[in-house]
Amino acid sequence: MSGEAGIEPITSEEELPPNATTANNEDTSNNNNISGGGGDNGKSLVIPITTSTNGNNFNNDGNNKDSGGLFIEIFPEEISSVRPTTLTKVLREEQAPLTTWCDASLLYMKAKREKEGCDLINAAADSEDVMSGSNNQDRLRVLSSAGIAALAQANKQTEGGGGSSGGGDAFDNDMDEAGETSKSTEANEKEVEELRAMADARFVKADNINQVNPMTWIGRGMLNLANNKYDQARFYFENLTLGQYGEILPALIGMAAVKYLEKDFKGAQDLYGRAMTKFPVQSGAAARVGFGMASYRLGQTDRAKAAFRRAHEIDSENVDALVGIAVLEMASLDEVLDAREYRAKAENVIKMISMANLVDHTNAMVQNHLANHYFWKWTPVPGMAKAERGSDVVEGNMASSLEPGDIIRIGREFETLVVADEDDMADDNSFKIKDSWKFESTTGQKIWKKDYDRVVSLAKGAYNSTNIPEVQAESLYMLARVYHARGDMEQANKFYEKACKHAPELSPARFGLAQTLIWDEAYDEAAAHLRLLLGTCSNATDALAALGLLEVRGGKDRREAFVYLKKAIDLDPFNADLVLIEALALQQHESDYPQALDRYRKALRLLEAQSKPVPADVLTNMGVLCHETKQYNEALEMYGKALNVVDADAGADATEEEKEVLVKHKDNSLFWDYAKTAVTVKVSGDDERKLIVSSDADIDSLVVKVGDDISLEGGTEAAVTEISKGGDGSIHILIDGDAELSSGESSLSVKQGNRKLHNLSSISIAFNLARAHESAGRVVPAVELHKAIVKLHPSYVNSYLRLACIARDCGSLKECAEWLKSAVAVAPGNPEVLTLVGNLHLSLCDWAPAQKVFDQLLAQKNQQVEAYSMLSMGNIYFNNLNTVGKYSKHLQYAADFYRRILQKDNANAYAANGLGTVLAEKGKLLEAKEVFNRVREVSGDTIADALLNLGHIYLAQKKHPEALQMYLSYMARTQSSGAQITSKSQEDDEAEVLQYIAFAHFDWARQTELFNDVKAAPADERYKKCIEYLEMAMKKSKRENILLRFNWCMAKLQAANCVLQKVNRNIRRTAQEVKDALTGLEESLPIIQTMIQWKQEKRKVPIQSSMLTDFVSQCKHNIDSAKGHLNEELRKEQDAQALRDIQRMDAEASKKSNEMKASLDKEKEAQEEEEREKRAMDKMKRVANLTEGWKTADTAAKKEKSTSKKKKGDAPPGGVDDEGGIFDTDVAAADTSALFDDSDDDDDDDDAGDAAKKTETEASTQGEQATQKDLFGDSSDEEELEAENPKKRSADDDEADTEQAAKKAKVDGEEQD
């Protein structure tokens, strides 16, 4: 249905009919002459001829004064055949009034020729001649009509997309890989914008004439509505037009459209209702369609259907009304129980959609509905077909009309796919089908096919016919479904993904995308899309079930997975398919087998209650689960039911060949039956094992043969051992047991085989049944059934293998070898056969033959047995550690095999356990303990290939140190093991890994260079590492590797460029670095030039010529640049050397100066020491002088005392008068101050006089103190004496002091310097 809620962009005449402003047809003064000269849809266009009357027949209002003048009349049905250019010319020549121009444009619009109508009215609006001389009202009408006409054309472009109905370039361009918008779509969008801009310009001009014009307001409201500016549209429709002019029809419809788009469906319904009530005729079909759309959104289906029907009655060509009726009728088909009524209504729905397509073959919505119809419809194919039972070739003259990929139906039930005849078994009158015909051979069968070509054509047409993403998404979804049905999953995935991009909420497309991703085994991505789907449609049971199954398969969160499954079942509890999916999810883990079996039983009950057939696969799965849970009797029952379903599908009786009895054991009764014969027998009286044929029969024609198993009515079952004729002519049958009859005679039944073992679909079920016999201990029926299988189907290897295993378990190794030999003869390269042969050798400890077998299996690289083969090889090496001289080698081989298993299947607990044993054998007990503890988690972090893969991942994440660590660890591991990890040689492996390491350094350097400043300094060293590893790889590689050599040259180029860029990045560099970069460039250039020459010689060079040419040009440029940089660096280094020489000389001069200063300081110190020693000597001399002076003074004092006594006493000369006079102490003390004075006696001052005598005692005391101080104090004699006796210094002492002060000043000045 239309997304515009029934609003059709129409011209001013339809927007403002004659009675638009009032309920009647009278003109009022306040309507501003809104109504024009046009009338209802049946009114013709009248153009007065004014050229002969000089145009005087019309007044300013455009009314004809002379009604009898000539005129041109164009009827509505004729307007489609009139070219707008011709009509424009006539209107110009006849100087038609503006109202006539509007009427002519209106006719084109009603004829659905919006472009012609728009061009015509624009011609009038753009012509000054036409617009001049008219009143403002007419000019307003023309400008408003031109703007509305432009909007009408723009909306038509938006709805129709400007494309055609058939495929075309627009569709193909939009389906490209990049998903870019097609050029035609861009051009169409540009045209729409231009039309809307034109409309806005017209409205601006109209506002310049009169700003209070309701027609302009309505046009502006339509423009804002088209631009999704609902508030502004509401302002023009409701506030201005309806508020000032009352209920005008176009304003009512416009406001209803605003409310509808704002999802106010009730308000929209009310406004549409008011419009229809107020203007029952002028509102037309568009208002009814809008009312129906609003009613549908409100859930009022009946009112919506009635509105659409009324719109169809008003306008039988209204596409929206037709589609609305068809969709609602289609939705009500589920309520119809009568088959005839259902078919009648369905045909009526298709007729309405087809009619809508005829009316508007560019309507994308209609085309999508038709595409959906033809997707499900079976189209009959002319002719009759002949099919034979079991054949996949069908004969019929319709073969030429069928192509590979067509889905066909033969008869009423058999659906299959036409496939290509690769074996040339079909001719021009026959074709090959995917599934063999399973019914009886028949002729005259009718064939139907799905007309997917028409679906594709309609979907492409719909895609090109619209620009609405949601509608385009439906078209893409239709295309995806076609490819999905045809089995082209890649194309289906492409279109599903495109549909989801156009309309993310289109749930069916997203579910289809998830299905194709599951087919592509992209389970994580599929689960992500299913989660998105559930985000928009949380009750999608199929999506819930699929997501639950995927979660179980992934093993990430089983609890969450079963939450999804439970929710799906709760939403649809009677859907047996959902219960089966839950059972399938549960059977993925052995611990859930009982619960899975219960779910299967529930599904079985649901199917039986709904009278639906139970598929054989379901019954087989139940049998297997019963088998695994040791419910053997129920397993046999399920297998029996599955065999009956398969046999019923075959639908044919057993042939004579198929009646052959191949199994006879009673436990295999599913494969034989007792067939009643016409023979009657009785028991012989003398021997209960002898039966006498009582009926008339000839021994030659007797249906019973020796060895047949027979059954009698008494319950006797026995085997015929002999048939003979008695003496009385009766036939005697001897059996291997006693016969017991319920009566005297009994009919005889013979055991005959049925066709169950002959049906290919039953073989796997029969094999499972035999396996159940084995597990239950019923070896005889198991062996019998296996032998019957290999007899009827010699290529069925599994039974050979089971027979070999049974023989081995019974101890018959010779018979086991015979069965294995037969299996090898039937399937020489069968991995399962070789596996069992290898196991047989292992059981016999034949290590060398076992190793040879498993080596052969590994060479096949079969994913199903590869892990087991590697595990067996690891076990072989681990069990041969005691081989002399090979302990380390075998241990390492075993570890490598276990690691390789974990690399491919990190859930393989056996391999993890084996790896733990190897680690323990090496003495790495802590690591072994960790592995054993993590057996359930299964970690493969230590495998070599895992390290390599981790390196790739880290490199992709730009974690270069971690990547390099992984690569180097891989190198160390492979080199130490000496084993080849891949099919290549060890050297090739190492060369390849060295390239990975080199590229890691290269990419790291490139990433570092992105800083483009000082932080880019490490890039140079990383480029060097890259070149180093590339050179190592070239040495390891046995043959010339052009690509490797090119990478080396490229690394040289980038390294040189990095060196040259150091200047701009403020990074120091040397001339040697630049020289090395230049050398690398000069070495690389001839190599690349040689490659270019090889290219020209048509030699194989796996590098594009453009890359080589670009390299040469860039290399030459860098060489020239490097030479300049080298000269600059050499100049800089010379300048730096000169500066270093100057600095060296300055340093030497400074060193000499320091040495001289040190020498002067040393000399000064020596002088000071000498001075100190001299002063010390002087002091010693003074002490000696003092001592001598004291002695002299004492002697002199004694003499003076003695003289004094002689003068006083009476004693004669030579006598002593007083003995005490000798010791008289009253003698004046001698003046000892001179002892402490450095001057001579001659320098004494003569004027001292009595003052000197008065101070003799004091001077003597001070002299003693000064002497003590001079002897024991810190100050020098000169300073103390100067302080004590400044007047007694001698001239010599003054000179000495002056000299000493001068020396001291000189020393102090040198120290300061």
Residues 6 or more apart whose CB falls under 8 angstroms from that of 30 comprise 21, 245
pLDDT score at 515: 93
Residues 495 and 514: beta-carbon distance below 8 Å: no
Lowest-confidence pick of 67-81, 602-616, 708-722, 1247-1261? 1247-1261
Backbone angles phi, psi at 1053, to 5 degrees: -65, -45
pLDDT score at 255: 92
- How far is residue 802 from each of residues 344, 625, 792, 798, 850, measured CA to CA in Å? 60, 20, 16, 6, 19
pLDDT digits (tens, 9 = 90+) for 678-695: 788 888 777 778 888 876
| Helices and strands, counts by H and E, the chain | 50, 14
pLDDT digits (tens, 9 = 90+) for 801-850: 889 888 877 878 788 888 888 888 888 777 777 887 887 777 777 788 88
Residue 319, H or E segment = helix 319-331
Lowest-confidence pick of 620-629, 1029-1038, 1194-1203, 1272-1281? 1272-1281
pLDDT score at 133: 65
pLDDT digits (tens, 9 = 90+) for 1204-1219: 665 555 444 444 444 3
pLDDT score at 823: 83
Lowest-confidence pick of 151-155, 657-661, 871-875? 657-661
More confident residue, 737 or 517: 517
Mean pLDDT of 625-644: 91
State the pLDDT confidence band at 173, using cuts at 50, 70 and 90.
very low
Q: Cα torsion for 1218, 1221, 1223, 1229, to the nearest 10°? A: 170
State the pLDDT confidence band at 476, using cuts at 50, 70 and 90.
very high
Burial of 1094 per CB tally in 10 Å (0-12, 13-18, 19+): middle
Cα first-last separation, the chain:
107
pLDDT digits (tens, 9 = 90+) for 1104-1156: 888 888 888 888 888 888 888 888 888 888 888 888 888 888 898 898 999 89
Q: What percent of the chain has pLDDT over 90?
A: 13
Angle subtended at Cα 827 by Cα 824 and Cα 831, rounded to the nearest 5 degrees: 85
Mean pLDDT of 1155-1180: 90
pLDDT score at 498: 93
More confident residue, 337 or 215: 215
For residues 641 and 762, what is the distance between their CA atoms, to the nearest angstrom?
Answer: 11
Nearest to 909 by CA among 939, 930, 884, 879: 939
pLDDT score at 924: 63
CA atoms within 13 A on the CB side of 686: 1
For residues 157 and 194, what is the distance between their CA atoms, to the nearest angstrom?
Answer: 11
State the pLDDT confidence band at 734, using cuts at 50, 70 and 90.
confident
Residues 1129 and 1137: beta-carbon distance below 8 Å: no
Q: Is the pLDDT of residue 1242 over 80?
A: no
More confident residue, 59 or 1043: 1043
Lowest-confidence pick of 199-213, 421-435, 912-926? 912-926
Q: Is the pLDDT of residue 36 over 80?
A: no
- Token look-up 């001292």 returns 1248
For residues 567 and 85, what is the distance between their CA atoms, to the nearest angstrom?
Answer: 67
Radius of gyration (C-alpha) of the chain in whole angstroms: 59
More confident residue, 1194 or 658: 1194
Q: Is the pLDDT of residue 437 over 90?
A: no
pLDDT digits (tens, 9 = 90+) for 234-276: 898 888 888 888 888 888 999 999 999 898 999 999 999 999 9
pLDDT digits (tens, 9 = 90+) for 694-704: 766 667 667 78
The DSSP bridge partners found for residue 734 are 690, 722
Of the segments 24-38, 969-983, 1060-1074, which one has the largest average pLDDT value? Answer: 1060-1074
State the pLDDT confidence band at 53, using cuts at 50, 70 and 90.
very low
For residues 679 and 720, what is the distance between their CA atoms, to the nearest angstrom?
Answer: 14
pLDDT score at 525: 92
Mean pLDDT of 1057-1079: 85
pLDDT digits (tens, 9 = 90+) for 364-412: 888 888 888 888 888 888 888 888 877 778 888 777 778 887 888 888 8
Residues 6 or more apart whose CB falls under 8 angstroms from that of 352 comprise 322, 323, 325, 326, 329
Average pLDDT of the chain to the nearest whole number: 77
Q: Cα torsion for 655, 660, 662, 663, to the nearest 10°? A: 90
Q: Is the pLDDT of residue 658 over 80?
A: no
Instruction: For CA atoms 791, 796, 797, 800, give the dihedral sign.
Output: negative
Count CB neighbours of 121 within 10 A. Answer: 32
Please give the structure tokens belonging to residue 123.
């011609």
pLDDT score at 82: 85
Residues 37 and 142: beta-carbon distance below 8 Å: no
Q: What long-range pairs does 395-399 form, CB within 8 A, spacing at least 24?
A: 395/429, 395/430, 396/429, 396/430, 396/431, 396/447, 397/429, 398/447, 399/426, 399/428, 399/429, 399/430, 399/431
Residues 206 and 98: beta-carbon distance below 8 Å: no
DSSP secondary structure of 968-1020: HHHHHHHHHH---SSSS-HHHHHHHHHHHHHHHHHHHHHHHHTT-SGGGTTHH
Residues 773 and 667: beta-carbon distance below 8 Å: yes
Greatest extent of the chain over all pairs of C-alpha atoms, in Å:
223
pLDDT score at 426: 59
pLDDT score at 492: 93
pLDDT score at 880: 85
Mean pLDDT of 555-577: 87
More confident residue, 538 or 34: 538
Q: What percent of the chain has pLDDT over 70?
A: 78
Residues 6 or more apart whose CB falls under 8 angstroms from that of 994 comprise 971, 1029, 1030, 1032, 1033, 1036
Q: Is the pLDDT of residue 925 over 70?
A: no
pLDDT score at 768: 92
